Amino acid sequence: MTKKIVVCGAGGFIGGHLVADLLQHGQPDIRAVDIKPFDQWYQLFPSVQNLQLDLQDKRACEQAVSEAAQVYNLAADMGGMGFIENNRALCMLSVLINTHLLMAARKFGMERFFYASSACVYAADKQVSPELAPLKESDAYPAMPEDGYGWEKLFSERMCRHFQEDFGVTTRVARYHNVYGPHGTFEGGREKAPAAICRKVIQAKMCGNHEIEIWGSGQQTRSFMFIDDCLRGTQAIMASDISEPINLGSSEIVTINGLVDIVEDIAGIKLNRSYNLNAPKGVNGRNSDNTLIRKYLGWEPSVRLRDGLEKTYEWIYGQMIQRKPEQQTPVLAGA
């Protein structure tokens, strides 16, 4: 019986780290798939089978998962709030990826199928205040998710559920809460808040312009999960008997202002702040309730935000400092 593992979205941030982690733990047969050209993958490993495929296409999905035992679907057209609020149709089209991958998984009798969902599935009226309670899995219904991206994630969760109930495809679903770390997007419009703030603080330090623009009031609350916790939780959920969607996120809550405080402290600098209240900023408050994951796995994400940000800052700084002067990116808005 084949033990091939397929990682879809392997050219992305989480996918690249997942391939690296599987290799580190001795997984011998891995197929890595992404739509991007190989020179745009965040991490590329010559020891695995690397394929460039458009997984919105049904035949490409069949090619991706043939002869495989497990698939991790991390593939999606997505980014931070600046991207998903302005590209709702593109985000919705990712439903084709999960649909066609599930059809291929059923066709080939795959053992297990993992779907990377998002905290954006949660009802908007549960996130109107920074002080609201952490989000429980049941808070996704009655449904009122993030427009575009959140609806696609919630629909794809249901697709996983019904493929399991009707066709016997064993599916596992994790709702990711703001994953960050090295080897990810930190500029260009798709970056998320931790990477964007690290980049802005580094730019301010390098350029001597001690100003930073923050999207929103800075009082929005979030939790951010370091990539190491994400990898451990993802593989534990895949191997578990947890059949319903489950939160995978840190419960360490922080305001965006607090996030900037931490990065400033790491950089050894203090910046003057301006607030762009018209910029995309997402919901006012979001945090992960980890009651279920503690119950099922006896574990929850636990890397301290400060520790994870230090590693992220160091990696982004290394990427930016290596550039020639003419390649340096001007200070841009966005967090």
Catalytic positions are 149
Q: Which two tokens stand for residue 287?
A: 């945090």
Give kind and range of the element (H or E) at residue 117: strand 112-118
Instruction: Please measure the distance between the N-terminal and C-terminal CA atoms of the chain and give it in whole angstroms.
Output: 47
DSSP class of residue 132 equals P
Mode of pairing for the β-strands spanning 112-118 and 225-226: unpaired
Alpha helices in the chain (DSSP H): 13-24, 58-65, 81-84, 88-92, 95-108, 149-167, 193-207, 227-239, 256-267, 291-297, 305-321
Please say whether the dihedral angle defined by the alpha carbons of residues 149, 99, 225 and 332, taken in this order, is positive or negative.
negative
CB-neighbour burial class of residue 298 (10 A; exposed 0-12, middle 13-18, buried 19+): exposed
142: preceding bond cis by omega (within 30 degrees): yes
Q: Taking a C-beta distance cutoff of 8 angstroms, is the pair 172, 293 a contact? A: no
For tokens 């979205």, the residue is 9
Q: Which two tokens stand for residue 316?
A: 């982004």
44 contact partners, CB below 8 Å, separation of at least 6: 11, 16, 32, 38, 50
Interatomic CA distance for residues 164 and 299, integer angstroms = 26
Interatomic CA distance for residues 64 and 55, integer angstroms = 8
